């Protein structure tokens, strides 16, 4: 296969991915709403692992665009699909992941009784939040430290979670090893119909160019992209507390 064919195939994959994401954009004309409590307390007993305390402590966000994006992501998660949240920083992408973990009716989240151990919630698989770079650091440590979890154990933990969030999915070495492992994890989750969420600060075409054709195909078939390009919440003025 010559280089022109490879580039043509990649351009076709990126175009297909872009079209899939365009069809799943949140409503840009969604009405702006006042601060709206997010769906707390949690509707289930799935344990949350690795989710940032800052986001777990948050109780409300404002804006019709965020609400529309959250509802679309929730629908994809509850169908067992793959969510890609992309766009500018500070728009509440991680908060969407937290609220899905708290509230979604996640498919295939129950453990068979033979897997139960002495845990707080032994009957449920956990929702796991991690960053892409942390996955690859753990995998490489498994080769260097005999006491560390094996590569197989690390992949199985991520692949079997009720919900897996991979933040900063664009921050990695983009080596064949990393691409193969990321594809393998997502593929196993896709086969088991367990929802996965990828978060990136890149725009859709930039991020699509980093993903393997296999992942792009899975996203197009079972999920979609959600553009988060409204004003950063970090730049919005904080409400003045009442005296």
**DSSP, res 124:** B
**Mean pLDDT score, 25-51:** 56
Are 111 and 125 contacting, i.e. CB atoms less than 8 angstroms apart?
yes
Residue 168 has pLDDT above 80, yes or no: yes
- Burial of 88 from C-beta contacts in 10 A (0-12 / 13-18 / 19+): middle
Q: What is the pLDDT of residue 40?
A: 47
Which one has a higher pLDDT value, 193 or 120?
193
Angle at which helices 176-192 and 151-160 cross, to 10°: 40
Cβ neighbourhood burial of 182 (10 Å; 0-12, 13-18, 19+): buried
- Is the predicted pLDDT of residue 88 greater than 50, yes or no? yes
Average pLDDT of the chain? 80
Over the stretch 110-155, which tens digit does the pLDDT of each residue have?
766 656 565 655 667 899 999 999 999 999 888 877 788 899 999 9
* Domains of the chain listed by start with CATH number: 3-235 (3.40.50.300)
C-beta of residue 56 within 8 angstroms of C-beta of residue 48: yes
Phi/psi of residue 22, nearest 5 degrees: -55, -35
Write out pLDDT tens, residues 50-65. Answer: 998 888 877 666 678 9
């Amino acid at each position: 296969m010559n280089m022109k064919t490879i580039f043509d195939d990649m351009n076709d994959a990126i175009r297909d991915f872009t079209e899939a994401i365009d069809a799943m954009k949140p409503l840009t004309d969604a009405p702006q709403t006042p601060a709206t409590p997010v769906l707390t307390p949690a509707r289930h007993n799935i344990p949350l692992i690795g989710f940032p305390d800052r986001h777990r402590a948050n109780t409300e966000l404002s804006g019709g665009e965020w609400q529309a994006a959250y509802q679309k992501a929730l629908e994809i998660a509850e169908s067992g699909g793959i969510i890609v949240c992309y766009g500018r920083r500070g728009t509440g992408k991680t908060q969407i992941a937290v609220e899905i973990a708290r509230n979604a009716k996640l498919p295939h989240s129950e453990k068979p009784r033979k897997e139960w151990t002495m845990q707080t919630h032994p009957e449920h698989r956990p929702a796991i939040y991690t960053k892409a770079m942390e996955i690859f650091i753990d995998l490489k440590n498994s080769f260097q430290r005999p006491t560390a979890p094996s590569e197989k154990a690390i992949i199985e933990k991520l692949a079997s979670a009720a919900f897996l969030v991979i933040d900063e999915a664009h921050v990695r070495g983009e080596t064949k090893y990393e691409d193969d492992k990321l594809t393998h994890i997502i593929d196993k989750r896709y086969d088991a119909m367990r929802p996965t969420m990828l978060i990136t600060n890149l725009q859709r075409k930039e991020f699509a160019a980093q993903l393997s054709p296999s992942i792009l195909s899975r996203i197009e078939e079972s999920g979609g992209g959600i553009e988060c390009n409204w004003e950063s919440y970090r730049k919005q003025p904080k409400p003045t507390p009442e005296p």
